[in-house]
Amino acid sequence: MGDQAMRRILQAGETFAAIVSGVNLAHSLDADAFAGLLETFYRYRVICLRGQKLSPRQLADVARRFGELEDYHLADYMIPDVPQVRVLSNEIVNGKNTGAVNAGMYWHSDLSYRPQPAGATLLYGITCPAEGGNTLFADMVAAYAALPDDMRKRITGLATVRDRSYRYSEFYPNRPPLTDAQKAAVPPVTHPLVRVHPVTGEKALYVSAGSCSHIPGMDVAEGRKLIAELEAFATQPRFVYSHTWQPGDLVIWDNCVTLHCATPFDMQKYIRKMHRVQALGGTPLPA
Ligand SMILES: O=C(O)CCC(=O)C(=O)O
Ligand SMILES: [Fe+2]
């Protein structure tokens, strides 16, 4: 229990998020130590473990303890021997991009357009800009709890349709458009607008304007207005933690109960290079 005894937890956001120190993931955690880390993860929803030194394979091994891994469906910028690990980077080598650029610069929850979205995502900072390039996180449990009663009633039992292609070319103008085969591989899915966390039982908003095309049974424009209103509510500063990256940070977030959004930085001046893995969660449970 050496790691356990050493562990220090510092809450980083107003309602959630924590910086955890004293854990070295390069040494595989035993069952008790991992259970302790998992408890901290569920409690804070976003955790950052500083000062990690992880090869892509070690990163995938840690991720596998959070859920099942799969190869990334767009299959670009994967680590050749570890196809579950994807590179995010603006570094150009021999005139070629070495990683995905501008990924996730809108509020979203990973793989929410899939029947079985991501549970945990692990993002590992290798090279981090001296300024900018923060990742924002929104606490969807706190946001749900703070909703006015009439709004909570209004959204009870509602769902949203998630469509990978809905605003893809708007968010990724520099990428080739999704092909018909890619679209067919991820057809739209319907998920509850309020979900219950499978482990903690907490209720959370599960919605974002960039991922939800409409609300079934509601006029499309009216549904989009409600979706935008809920996102704006949930991403108010009081529910948001902004993570400033240091090399060696491993940030792990719970996609069931948080949204996140990458922010810009000066790409001419700085390199930002990260490795990421996502572990699948279950089918979202309606509240
Ligand atoms: O690069 C970031 O800050 C976050 C990108 C993102 O959305 C992700 O890795 O899931
Ligand atoms: Fe993301």
The full 3-state SS of 219-278, as one line of letters, equals CHHHHHHHHHHHHHHHCCHHHEEEECCCCCCEEEEECCCEEEEECCCCCCCCCCEEEEEE
Kindly give the distance from the C-alpha atom of residue 36 to the centroid of ligand 1, in angstroms, as a whole number. 25
Ligand 1 pocket: which of 84, 260, 271 to mutate (most atoms <8 Å of CB)?
260
Residue 176 counted as domain residue: yes
The rounded percent of the chain whose pLDDT value lies above 70 is: 97
Residue 6 lies in a domain: yes
Q: Which atom of ligand 1 is nearest to the CA of 123?
A: 9
Tell which residue, 282, 279, 240, has the closest CA to residue 123.
Answer: 279
Would you say the CB of residue 110 lies under 6 angstroms from ligand 1? yes
Residue 71 has pLDDT above 80, yes or no: no
The string of pLDDT tens digits covering residues 126-176 is 999 999 999 999 999 999 999 999 999 999 999 999 998 899 989 999 888
**Residue at 272 is within a domain:** yes
- 204-216 pLDDT, tens per residue? 999 999 999 999 9
Closest by CA to 223, choosing from 205, 209, 206, is 209
Expressed in angstroms and rounded, the spacing between residue 103 Cα and the centre of ligand 1 is 6
Whether residue 188 is contained in a domain is answered as yes
Q: Which atom of ligand 1 is nearest to the CA of 134?
A: 3
This prediction has a pTM of: 0.96
Residue 4 pLDDT greater than 60, yes or no = no
Query: Is the CB–ligand 1 distance for residue 104 below 6 Å?
Result: yes
Counted residue by residue, the chain has a size of 287
Q: Is 90 exceeded by the pLDDT of residue 74? A: no
DSSP per-residue letters across 191-227: EESEEE-TTT--EEE---TTTEEE-TTS-HHHHHHHH
Q: Which atom of ligand 1 lies at the shortest distance from residue 135's CA?
A: 3
Q: Is the predicted pLDDT of residue 27 greater than 50, yes or no?
A: yes
- The pLDDT-based confidence of 70 (bands split at 50, 70, 90) is confident
* 123 CB within 6 A, ligand 1: yes
> What pLDDT score does 73 carry?
62
Are the CB atoms for 88 and 267 separated by under 8 Å? no
Q: Which of 198, 90, 214, 200 is nearest to 163 (CA)?
A: 214
Domain assignment of residue 180, given as a range: 2-282
Q: Is the CB–ligand 1 distance for residue 88 below 6 Å?
A: yes
Place of tokens 């969807």: 140
Q: Is 35 helix (H, G, I), strand (E, B) or coil?
A: helix
Asked, for residue 287, whether it belongs to a domain, the answer is: no
Query: Residue 177 has what DSSP assignment?
Result: P
Q: Which atom of ligand 1 is nearest to the CA of 272?
A: 1
121 lines ligand 1 (CB under 6 A): yes
Query: Cβ(276) to ligand 1 under 6 A?
Result: yes
Distance CA 220, CA 62 (A): 41
Q: Is the CB of 273 under 6 A from ligand 1?
A: no
**40, part of any domain:** yes
User: Tens of pLDDT along 88-98?
Assistant: 999 999 999 99
249 lines ligand 1 (CB under 6 A): no
What burial letters (b/e) apply to 6-27, b meaning 16+ CB within 10 Å?
Answer: ebeeeebbebbbbbbeebebee
Residue-level pLDDT at 11? 96
The pLDDT value given to residue 248:
98
Q: Which ligand is nearest to the CA of 101?
A: 1
> Is the Cβ–Cβ distance between 81 and 51 less than 8 Å?
no
Q: Tell me: pLDDT of 5 over 60.
A: no
Question: Does ligand 1 come within 6 angstroms of the Cβ of 136?
Answer: no
Number of neighbouring beta carbons within 10 Å of residue 102: 15
Instruction: Please name the residue whose Cα sits nearest to atom 5 of ligand 1.
Output: 104
Total domains in the fold of the chain: 1
* pLDDT tens-digit map of 188-204: 999 999 999 999 999 99
**What pLDDT, on the 0 to 100 scale, is given for residue 1?**
42
Distance 218 CA to ligand 2 centre (A): 28
Q: Is the pLDDT of residue 12 over 80?
A: yes
Of residues 47, 20, 66, 23, the one with CA closest to residue 199? 66
In short, whether 135's Cβ falls inside 6 Å of ligand 1 is yes
CATH at 246: 3.60.130.10
Mean pLDDT computed over 16-25: 95
pLDDT band for position 3 (50/70/90)? very low
Closest CA to 284 of 180, 205, 170, 186: 205
